């Protein structure tokens, strides 16, 4: 379940995202040392990939609504399920990242909408709260 972010919540995966100097989350990716190709999430191959951070701003490339509870695993959320928007956000020229969409009613997202990476709390089935990421309309993310 996505809730308001908690500054002290454990990050869902510190190879996926980290907090920057201002406390905002940033996504980690890998740049192939030979080809320059960017991979997300960060591959577990330090010899082949250097760690980079992805841009926090992008544009909504495509989106849909998840209307049913996904299978567990991999779904780790609570039994009670509420539909949510999920989309692909083009982060500059880097690449397109899939993530939950937040900050607007489901019917108000639109292709090419400016989006900003935001921290979101995720409450696991066991009640533990972790910080993950989502994308919110830029006008509402501030």
pLDDT tens digits along 84-122? 999 999 998 779 999 999 999 999 999 999 999 999 988
Q: What gap in Å lies between CA 19 and CA 33, rounded to an integer?
A: 24
What's the distance, CA 6 to chain centroid? 16
Contact in structure between 3 and 120 (CB atoms under 8 Å)? yes
Domain residue ranges of the chain, discontinuous segments joined by +: 2-141
Find, among 67, 61, 64, 42, the residue nearest to 52 by Cα: 42
**pTM for the full model?**
0.84
Q: What gap in Å lies between CA 77 and CA 42, rounded to an integer?
A: 23
Find, among 12, 44, 16, the residue nearest to 130 by Cα: 12
pLDDT beneath 70, residues of the chain: 1-9, 141-142
Q: What gap in Å lies between CA 28 and CA 10, rounded to an integer?
A: 16
């Amino acid at each position: 379940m996505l809730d308001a972010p908690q500054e002290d919540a454990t990050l869902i995966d510190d190879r996926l995202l980290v907090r920057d100097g201002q406390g905002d989350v940033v996504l980690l990716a890998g740049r192939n040392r030979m080809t320059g190709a960017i991979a997300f999430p960060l591959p577990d191959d330090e010899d082949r990939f250097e760690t980079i951070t992805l841009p926090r701003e992008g544009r909504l490339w495509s989106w849909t609504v998840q209307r049913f509870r996904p299978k567990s695993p991999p779904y780790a959320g609570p039994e009670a399920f509420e539909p949510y928007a999920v989309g692909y956000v083009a982060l500059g020229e880097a690449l397109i990242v899939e993530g939950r969409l937040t900050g607007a009613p489901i019917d108000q997202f639109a292709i090419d909408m400016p989006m900003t990476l935001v921290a979101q709390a995720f409450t696991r089935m066991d009640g533990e709260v972790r910080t993950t990421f989502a994308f919110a309309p830029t006008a509402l993310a501030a």
